[in-house]
């Protein structure tokens, strides 16, 4: 994965960048499978590696295949991203250890969901129970976000077409 | 790519299975991994695949743009409608317990329709995005 990211950053050919992005996304999906997050892995593989690659290739067809050479080499963004990365790395020191059962996220409501969801909802897949039932409002919001994004793209691209 | 015999045959062979898999992921999401988001994307991917192989016009004949636009709005309305149904039947907004004979049946029904709404919206948006990008390229090519 790290090799993919480095190659992605160095890639000047946008077609290669899109393909590398797709590979990265697929590797990410395998990582998520290894973490037992099958639902998320499925979404990552379908959206990241599948459909968004097609959409990026469609956009690439419109804008051409090579990245333009930057006129100046600004240092500020580089410094800024290194600084933010350092802050994040520092913040990671304070996180609980990987798969620590006493981590705050595992002792709040997750235990109750795991214990009660099969009885309360009759749905064996707890992810679906949390997503659609306990967190129904959040998922409604997400659906509206997807809808709004689609509506926004429609509004933008259709106006251009009419000109 | 319209003239590529292998692509045409393979896409015709795999399309039904992709759509069937989308339905499986949609309605089996209660028991295995999956749900509306994934199913919507897979269904859209099947149509996108068809569009890439047979041309945009063929895909738009198969699933007209007007249908896609209706779908992506209908999904949100379906989701919000499930919430309203909860109110009408005497519960809170998005309260599924009142939708069925007992609470578990109500939960099942609520989750089913909510996931269906999510799937419709996601499939509609993905397909619409593909149509918009692909048709812009075609217009630019014509001009």
Mean pLDDT of B62-91: 86
Strand segments, DSSP code E, in chain A are none
At residue B119, φ and ψ (nearest 5 deg) are -60, -45
The more confident residue out of B96 and B82 is B82
Q: How far is A146 from chain B (nearest CA, A)?
A: 7
Q: Do B86 and B76 contact (CB within 8 A), yes or no?
A: no
Q: Which residues of chain A make contact with B73, given a CB cutoff of 8 A?
A: 147
Q: Which residues of chain B make contact with A47, given a CB cutoff of 8 A?
A: 37, 41
Whether B114 and A137 lie within 8 Å, measured CB to CB: no
- Candidates A135, A137, A150: best to mutate against B (most CBs of B within 10 A) is A150
Q: What is the pLDDT of residue A84?
A: 96
Whether A153 and B31 lie within 8 Å, measured CB to CB: no
Question: What does the DSSP 8-state code read for residue A142?
Answer: H
Percentage of chain B surpassing pLDDT 90?
3
Q: What is the pLDDT of residue A89?
A: 93
Residue A56 — very low, low, confident or very high, per pLDDT cuts 50/70/90?
A: confident
Residue B141 above 50 pLDDT?
Answer: no
What contacts A135, CB < 8 A, 6 or more positions away?
none
Mean pLDDT of A40-46: 87
Write out pLDDT tens, residues A66-86.
777 777 778 888 899 999 999
**How many folded domains does chain B comprise?**
1
Cα angle, residue A29 at apex, residues A139 and A88 outer, rounded to 5°: 80
Ranked by mean pLDDT, the top range of A97-111, A122-136, B69-83 is B69-83
Mean pLDDT of B103-129: 86
Q: What is the pLDDT of residue A113?
A: 79
B101 vs B83: CA distance, rounded Å? 17
The more confident residue out of B4 and B47 is B47
Q: Which residues of chain B make contact with A65, given a CB cutoff of 8 A?
A: none
What contacts A63, CB < 8 A, 6 or more positions away?
A14
Residue B1 — very low, low, confident or very high, per pLDDT cuts 50/70/90?
A: low
Coil/strand/helix, residue A13: strand
Q: Which residues of chain B make contact with A37, given a CB cutoff of 8 A?
A: none
Residue A149 above 80 pLDDT?
Answer: yes
Q: How far is B112 from chain A (nearest CA, A)?
A: 9
Mean pLDDT of A97-123: 76
Number of continuous H segments (helices) and E segments (strands) in chain A: 9, 0
Q: Domain residues for B121?
A: 5-142
Mean pLDDT of A20-26: 89
Residue B143 — very low, low, confident or very high, per pLDDT cuts 50/70/90?
A: very low
Q: What size, in residues, is chain A?
A: 163
């Amino acid at each position: 994965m790290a090799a993919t990211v480095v190659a992605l950053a160095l890639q000047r050919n946008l077609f290669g960048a899109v393909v590398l992005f797709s590979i990265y996304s697929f590797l990410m999906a395998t990582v998520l499978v290894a973490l037992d997050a099958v639902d998320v892995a499925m979404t990552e593989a379908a959206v990241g590696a599948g459909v968004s690659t097609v959409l990026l290739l469609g956009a690439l067809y419109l804008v051409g295949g090579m990245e333009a050479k930057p006129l100046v080499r600004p240092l500020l963004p580089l410094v800024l991203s290194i600084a933010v990365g350092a802050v994040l790395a520092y913040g990671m020191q304070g996180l609980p250890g990987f798969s620590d059962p006493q981590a705050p996220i595992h002792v709040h409501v997750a235990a109750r969901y795991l214990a009660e969801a099969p009885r309360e909802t009759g749905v064996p897949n707890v992810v679906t129970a949390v997503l659609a039932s306990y967190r129904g409002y959040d998922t409604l919001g997400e659906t509206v976000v997807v809808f709004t994004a689609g509506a926004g793209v429609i509004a933008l691209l259709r106006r251009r077409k009419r000109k | 790519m319209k003239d590529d015999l292998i692509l045409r045959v393979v896409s015709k062979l795999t399309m039904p299975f992709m759509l069937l898999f989308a339905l499986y992921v949609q309605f089996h999401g209660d028991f295995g991994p999956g749900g509306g988001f994934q199913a919507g994307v897979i269904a859209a991917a099947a149509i996108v695949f068809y569009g890439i192989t047979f041309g945009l016009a063929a895909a738009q004949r198969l699933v007209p743009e007007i249908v896609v636009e209706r779908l992506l709005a209908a999904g949100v309305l379906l989701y919000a409608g499930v919430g309203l149904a909860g109110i009408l039947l005497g519960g809170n907004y998005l309260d599924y317990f009142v939708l069925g004979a007992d609470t578990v049946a109500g939960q099942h029904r609520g989750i089913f329709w909510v996931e269906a709404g999510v799937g419709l919206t996601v499939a509609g948006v993905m397909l619409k995005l593909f149509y918009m990008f692909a048709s812009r390229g075609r217009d630019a090519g014509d001009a």
